[in-house]
Structure 1
Amino acid sequence: MHAKNLFAYHPLVLALCLSGLPLSAALAADQPNAVAPGGALELQETNINAKAVENPTGHVRGPVATRSTSASKTDAAIKEIPQSVSIITRDEMDERKADTLAEVLSFTPGVITQPGGFSRVGDDFVIRGFNVGSGTGGILRDGMKLQGSVYDGGIEPYGLERVEVVKGASSVLYGQLSPGGLINTITKRPTDVPLHEVNVEYGSHARKQYSFDLGGPLDDEGQFSYRLTGLWRDSDTQTVDAPDDRRYIAPAFTWRPDEDTSLTFLASYQETRTGFAPPLDYDLTTSASTSYPKVDRDLFTGERGFDHYNNYSTTIGYLFEHSFTPDLKILHSLRHFDANLSWDYMQIADTGSAALRKQGLLARRASIRREHSEGWTSDNNVQWTLNSGRWQHTLLAGVDYYHKTYDSHRYAGATSLFNPDAPVYDAPTTITSADSGSDLHSSQTGLYVQDQIKFDEKWILVLGGRQDWAESRTYANATGKRTPREDKKATGRIGLVYEADNGLAPYISWSQSFLPANVFNANADTSFEPTEGEQYEMGVRYTPPGMNALLSAAVYDLKQKNSLSTDLTGNTVQFGETRSRGVELEAKADITANLSTTASYTYTDAKITEDSVASRVGTRIDGVPYHMASLWANYRLSALGLPKVVVGGGARYMGTSRTSSSDLDEKVDAYTLFDAKVSYEVDDNWTVAMKAQNLSNEKYLFCNVSCRYGDERTLIGSVNYRW
């Protein structure tokens, strides 16, 4: 039967044919000629607009993501979230060729990243003036806590589909967190369509890297699919005897027995072999005006054959989801993490006496560490959607659990002298001290509830509450002293969003956080109270009609109580309050078919408002500048008759900041870094590219209590093959 005759039977047939598709058919009552006299349907010219709903954990084309799971633990439009969220997609990572998580986040407003000398060994960030790193539990993988220590090895970004940053107090859904927020890394997962990619790279410092990403269905019915991602890198760095070697493999497998059920297994193994960039006192850097001996950015201050940082980590777990009805589903996830670290380096001691300084000498001491981290984490929740006329409720209730151990053995060697201008190596590295490490066991259990209430498709009210129970036991290796701690804390969240017809979505919110302080208290037999955070935020998002773009602006006031500091004798004390206020602007857009861009600006006023030392009150938090800004743009040269050539470039500005230094001005200079990339698509399969970082070879310094140099200019060429 021909389609024209089939439609002649009844106009409802067309609607039935389309009922299984994300399309619709409408027959206007005021069109008398729509149905011919013989009863046949006469099709008019029709425009069908169908846009696939974005997968909040899957691939997004370009830099603009519109949905997220990190800020609500539900599949929610970003415009409906009453809190700042920044998302870096896989495409954006590839456009900028980011090789560390720090590089991934270096264009994100409100986020301060560590330079390569540190980010090669760990992930440690400052968001809105507060530390958010692996040691705080602020680095998540697929919505669950991951590492137990900041030195458990940095996350390999090639294994990620996207990175989502939720800014500000966010404990209501995740428990123990710094007030700064969280960074949720989303793993690459099996795909429904075949995916094959192989990359080869060569660049500065004899860098050689090989990577591959394979995925797709395993059967015709689509029940089974897989993903296999791997990377192998051998590379030197600007510092002699400090390599940048990595091995990474991540298999994934999904089973979908029916359309309502999915089970995904995720695993990874990673080796990181590099050298630790020793922290420097500001006075020892070439930026300081003092007469101290100077350590330049490419000087190796360690001992050959002794200095190393070797980390071996594994993860294994699964994600399970089942929908009982279209409105009721459960999610269950579980993961185990394990990391072993061998870490030796020559630590540069205090600047020493005036006599040593006059001789141009520094004191070094061997630091020897052996560490093991292990953790179990699980999250389980029920999501129920209720529709009642003009009201819609998305209810979430769940329980999560996190247990970690961090066993650290730390030793020191004898002190030796070192001349930065005429370095001589072969200093003794034998152990001369007792074990100063400790063994930490901690766990957290949390119950949380949330209701996302939508009224008239315009107003969204988010209400959330949580109760946490946390306990920890710390054993000092030197004394055998046991320090137990038990805490329980309730946190909340409330936010309101209004979605206007013109694309604007203003919001206002209040949220809380808490973080147990697993730090030894030398002045008492008990540990410290948890730090507590509270945030007020107002913002607006804008999606220009007819354009793939998301513009965001936010202002906030964020406070942390029970902050830790040191007294005049050097002991850690719990003193009072730290406050951060700021403005964050972000734009991500596909401006034309050939031009895409991301831009950001940050103003942060982060200060100490209470301290045990009166002179510190009112001073800025170390390493947090007032101003930061960034811009990146990609342009396809179609207008010049070169549609296969894409040119990208960007700049990152970091304003002046403060450091804990004996230098009189205590200021770290502002700097601007320029990056660039050009790629050429040879055909549908082959692409060649060249990337340059720190194009002007700017010599810059990052300081947060201690200081490290940023990387010098690097060039990397690549060949990519997809089929």
Structure 2
Amino acid sequence: MPAKKIFAYHPLTLAILLSGLPLSAAYAADSASAATSNATLELQEITIDAQALENPTGQTRGPVATRSTSASKTDSAIKDIPQSISVITRDEMDNRKTDTLAEALSYTPGVIAQPGGFSRVADDFVIRGFNVGSGTGGILRDGMKLQGSVYDGGIEPYGLERVEVVKGASSVLYGQLSPGGLLNTITKRPTDTPLHEVNVEYGSHARKQYSFDLGGPIDDAGQFSYRLTGLWRDSGTQTTDTDDDRRYIAPAFTWRPNDSTSLTVLANYQETRTGFATPLDFDLTTSSSTRYPKVDRDLFTGERGFDHYNNYSTSLGYLFGHDFTPDLKIRHSLRHFEADLSWDYMQVADTGSAALRNRGQLARRPSIRRERSEGWTSDNNVQWTLDSGRWQHTLLAGVDYYHKTYDSHRFAGANSIFNPANPVYGVPTNATTANTGSDLHSAQAGVYLQDQIKFDDKWILLLGGRQDWAESRTYNFASGARTPRDDKKATGRVGLVYQADNGLAPYVSWSQSFLPANVFNANANTSFDPTEGEQYEIGVRYTPPGTTALLSAAVYDLKQKNSLSTDLTGNTVQFGETRARGVELEAKAEITAHLSATASYTYTDAKITDDAVSSRVGTRIDGVPYHMASLWTDYRLTTLGLPQIVVGGGARYMGTSRTSSSDTNEKVSAYTLFDAKVTYEVDRNWTVAMKAQNLANEKYLFCNVSCRYGDERALIGSVNYRW
């Protein structure tokens, strides 16, 4: 767009007016000669690119993000990307007061999260019908793979600036991934302006939490800046003898010797001390009509002094960038991650004995696990921009590497009888079995090439290709067997976007993914082939002219080949295909100066289309409903003469779903959860707030093969001081 020239505004006023607008402008500034005797005003013309006012890895005001790095590894407008992306900004997380990554994503279309009893210990999601969790490599931190195991501990959302969800097959830029997509969590980084806040919270289950976030420049020249984020929580939960304790500290430091070079060092240490919500068969829950003994949502099924989940994780890395010219840039990043886990819990199951069941009794068995994960990851790329008049190319070429180890020692104890209606504790919890764990070493190296081609500022063609080499070595402690696996895979991506003058941006795309199956094939004495994903997507984005809003819609067809299943004898086998088709709608908008809203609707038809057992063909994927919807609004009561008060509220609907953990054909019931928050700004420094989650105290169940109860109503009050 040609530069618009404005000469009547003060620079600060003009910057405010242009904030968020995709245009360039020049403003008039007072020159030194303005102080002459005849008071002549001499105008200087300075160009400002308003698009640069949003940093895709920095602070964004409000819930509407317009730029992202996750889907292209370049600083790109979201409207230029031919694939679905949802961004949850820091402001949105603060407005809803999220305590887990699952809560941060709870209003995002196409994303299904486990309830709090599980999400406190792990980040595990279903996106477009497919599992996307730490164990699949789908949880990224600052564009790089993070954890080595699904149980490496959930990411603390208070340490994040934003969360970006890229939906569908996305292996071209990141290698091994589930077909469902990826989550890229962006760490809080040093700021150019001073930032200071301290928070104190108290709430349900004797919850006490203290947190702080400090940042800003260190020297007057602005070469050095820092960020220090910390959190300490001691809390109970709805389940007796199950805590929700966390400690988190994250220092960050940036050195910027000039405008073209920067080095940012990021580190964090996290402790998670809680309890594992034992998985239940659907028939053991109060939602089932079968004649099984029932385990209620607040019943402690473990053993005091035995059940615990203690995770200690650290990461240290850096992000380096240098611009040789405005058109030629290099980026290099490196990180080390490790986690130690001590994890004991009592497994609960029906023994299959009708006599035992008729007496209202179940069986419990101690599960004892000691695990350690470690990972090294690095990403290096060169970006070259070519401008030849009507054509512009943004070329990206890179190589990345990821190595992880996962050392898991697993033991079990003897069965004991448990009566949910009259629980008695104190049974032996010592191990009685041999070590059934394994030691996994795996590595992935990949090279990728991408070209974002823009023609006449209207058409954007995205082409991408990648070659991956993956290897793994697994040692089974029980059998002593060593299972090597080597795979290589090429993946591709093609997409086209059209930018209309009225704000519409329709697009079409095709993309691929692959994920090695690190599961031993006992029948062939080897491991299985990688699963392969392929997605076709058609969508449109719309930014109404003159507004701060982004409306998105997408229709997709997503398939996974070489899926794993079990045959009639219980052996793991590799079969043909799992398919998901769906529609996703999302709206994020600052409707007025006092009202903002986010809304979404999801339709997902996820089914097994080929299986070793013919009766499973055509059945729905566990835990994936046809319909989901959500709405959250924030309203400042200025029109009522109360501008210091902001009222927020939301609703989340989850439709009926299926679970294979039921002896009958019962469905998991639909439910709607209501959340609310009220904020009172005492003055420019002090803010008090009250949050209610699951306001109606809905008793709901989430089932994906096994089942867990959702959290009951929780009330949390907070005091925030900023200076």
In structure 1, how many angstroms separate the alpha carbons of the residues matched to 2:229 and 2:49? 35
Select 2:26's aligned residue among 5, 19, 24. 24
Partner amino acid, structure 2, of 1:85: I
CA distance in 1: counterparts of 2:369 and 2:587, whole angstroms: 43
Question: 3-state DSSP class of the match of 1:72?
Answer: coil
CA contact (8 A) 1:316 1:335 kept: yes
Q: Give the C-alpha shift of residue 41 in structure 1.
A: 8.6
Structure 1 range deviating more: 682-691 or 51-60? 51-60
Question: What does residue 643 of structure 1 align with?
Answer: 643
* CA displacement, residues 15-50 of structure 1 (integer Å, 9 cap, x when unaligned): xxxxxx963269xxxxxxxxxxx9x99989x99995
Cross-structure match for 1:422: 422
Letter in 2 for 1:540: V
**Aligned positions of 1:71-220 closer than 5 A:** 71-220=71-220
Query: Secondary structure of 1:657's match?
Result: coil
CA contact (8 A) 2:85 2:166 kept: yes
User: Is residue 700–residue 709 contact of structure 1 (8 Å, CA) maintained in 2?
Assistant: yes
Instruction: Determine the C-alpha separation between the residues in 1 that align with 2:47 and 2:258.
Output: 33
**1:265-304 alignment runs, 5 A limit:** 265-304=265-304
Which amino acid in structure 2 is aligned with residue 125 of structure 1?
Answer: F
Matches within 5 A, 1:231-270: 231-270=231-270
TM-score by length of structure 2 reads: 0.94
Distance in 2 (CA, whole Å) between partners of 1:622 and 1:387 is 49
Aligned residue identity for 2:674:
F
**Which residue of structure 1 lines up, in the alignment, with residue 33 of structure 2?**
none
Query: By how many angstroms is 1:361 displaced?
Result: 0.4
- Residue of structure 2 equivalent to 1:585: 585
Closer/same/farther in 2, CA of residues 41 and 187 from structure 1, 3 Å limit? closer
Counterpart of 1:58 in structure 2 is 58
- How far apart are 1:662 and its partner, in Å? 3.3
Distance 2:663 2:687 in 1: 50
In structure 2, what is the Cα distance between the partners aligned to 1:410 and 1:512?
Answer: 35
Q: Quick one: distance in 2 between partners of 1:661 and 1:90?
A: 38
Structure 2 partner of 1:3 = none
- Contact kept? 1:409, 1:435, Cα under 8 Å: yes
| Counterpart mapping for 1:625-644 below 5 A | 625-644=625-644
Partner of 1:4: none
Q: 1:67 to 1:48 in 2, by over 3 A?
A: closer
In structure 2, distance between residues paired with 1:473 and 1:462 = 36
Between the aligned partners of 1:50 and 1:354, the Cα distance in structure 2 is 71
1:616 paired to 2:599: no
Give 3-state SS (helix, strand or coil) of 2:118's partner. helix
Partner of 1:689: 689
Q: What amino acid is aligned across from residue 332 of structure 1 in structure 2?
A: H
Q: Is the 8 A contact 1:263 1:318 kept in 2?
A: yes
CA contact (8 A) 1:236 1:243 kept: yes
Asked whether the equivalents of residues 121 and 151 of structure 1 are also in contact (C-alpha less than 8 Å), the reply is: yes
Q: Deviations along 1:421-460, whole A, 9 cap, x unmatched?
A: 0000001111100000000000000000000000000000
Aligned equivalents of 1:664, 1:352: Cα separation in 2: 15
Please list, as runs of the form range in 1=range in 2, the aligned pairs for 1:450-489 lying within 5 A after superposition: 450-489=450-489
Uncovered stretches (5+) of structure 1, i.e. residues with no partner: 1-6, 8-20, 27-37
**C-alpha contact 2:286 2:294 (8 A) present in aligned 1:** yes
Opposite residue 271 of structure 2, the aligned amino acid is: E
Post-superposition shift, 1:53?
Answer: 2.8
Residue 664 of structure 1, CA deviation: 2.3
After the TM superposition, which of the residue ranges 370-379 and 653-662 deviates more from structure 2?
653-662
Verify the 8 A CA contact 1:352 1:362 in the aligned structure 2. Answer: no
Q: What SS class does the counterpart of residue 53 from structure 2 fall into? A: coil
What is the Cα-based RMSD across aligned positions, in Å? 1.7
Stretches (4+) displaced over 4 A: 40-44, 46-52
Is contact 2:350-2:357 (8 Å) kept? no
Cα deviation per residue 1:382-418 (whole Å; 9 max; x = unaligned)?
Answer: 0000000100000000000000000000000010000
Residues 595-628 of structure 1: per-residue CA shift (max 9 Å, x gap): 0000000000000000000000000000000000
Q: Secondary structure at the match of 2:527?
A: coil
- Contact residue 109 and residue 585 of structure 2 kept, 8 A: yes
* 1:519 and 2:511 correspond: no
- For residues 558-577 of structure 1, the C-alpha deviation after alignment (integer angstroms, 9 at most, x for no partner) is 00000001111111110110
Q: Is the 8 A contact 1:579 1:607 kept in 2?
A: yes
Gaps of 5+ in 2: 1-6, 8-22, 29-37
Residue 10 of structure 1: aligned partner: none
Give the 3 Å change call, closer, same or farther, for CA 351–649 of structure 1 in structure 2.
farther
CA distance in 2, matches of 1:365, 1:57: 46
1:205 counterpart SS class: helix
Amino acid at match of 2:353: S
**Aligned AA (2:619):** T
Preserved contact between residue 452 and residue 460 of structure 2 (Cα < 8 Å)? yes
Contact 2:584 2:602 in 1 (8 A): yes
> Could you list the per-position Cα deviations for residues 280-335 of structure 1 after superposition, in whole angstroms to 9, with x for gaps in the alignment?
00000000000000000000000000000000000000000000000001000000
- How far, CA to CA, are the matches of 1:195 and 1:662 in structure 2? 52
Contact 1:109 / 1:585 at 8 angstroms: preserved in 2?
yes
1:503 maps to a residue whose letter is: G
Distance 1:218 1:580, change over 3 A: same
Give the letter for the 1:549 counterpart. Answer: A
Q: Residues 403-418 of structure 1: matches in 2 within 5 Å?
A: 403-418=403-418
Report if the CA contact (8 A) 2:293-2:357 is conserved. Answer: yes
Question: TM-score, structure 1 length as denominator?
Answer: 0.94
Structure 1 Cα separation of the partners of residues 426 and 153 of structure 2: 28
Q: Does the residue aligned with 1:379 lie in a helix, a strand or coil?
A: strand
- Given that 1:686 and 1:719 are in contact with CA atoms closer than 8 Å, whether structure 2 keeps it comes out as yes
Q: Which amino acid in the other structure matches residue 418 of structure 1?
A: F
Q: In 2, distance between residues paired with 1:456 and 1:669? A: 51
Residue identity opposite 1:349 in structure 2: A
* 1:160–1:25 CA distance, 2 compared to 1 (3 A): closer
Q: CA deviation at 1:52?
A: 4.8
CA drift of 1:666 comes to 2.8
The residue that corresponds to 1:674 in the other structure is 674
Deviation at 1:524, TM superposition (A): 1.7
- Give the letter aligned to residue 165 of structure 1: V
**Counterpart position of 1:506:** 506
Cα distance in 2, alignment partners of residues 265 and 279 from structure 1: 39
Q: Output the CA distance in 1 between the equivalents of 2:51 and 2:316.
A: 35
How much has 1:351 moved relative to structure 2? 4.0
Determine if contact 1:138/1:182 at 8 Å carries over to the other structure.
yes
Secondary structure at the residue paired with 2:520? coil
Hey, what's the Cα distance between the residues in 2 that align with 1:654 and 1:662? 19
Letter of the 1:406 counterpart: Y
Find the counterpart in structure 2 of residue 530 from structure 1: 530
- Equivalent residue number for residue 354 of structure 1: 354
Q: Using the alignment, how far apart are the partners of 2:407 and 2:48 within structure 1? A: 61
CA distance in 2, matches of 1:151, 1:49: 44
Check conservation: 1:360, 1:419, Cα contact below 8 A. yes
Q: How many residues align?
A: 691
Paired residues of 1:292 and 1:351 also in contact (CA < 8 A):
no
* Alpha-carbon distance in structure 1 between the residues aligned to 2:662 and 2:187: 44
The alpha carbon displacement at 1:357 in A equals: 0.2
- The CA deviation at 1:557 is 0.1
Q: Distance in 1 between matches of 2:689 and 2:213?
A: 18
Change (3 A) 1:337 1:290: same
| Shift, 1:522, TM fit | 1.9
Whole-angstrom distance in 2 between the partners of 1:432 and 1:299? 26
Query: Whole-Å Cα distance in 2 between the matches of residues 680 and 52 of structure 1?
Result: 32
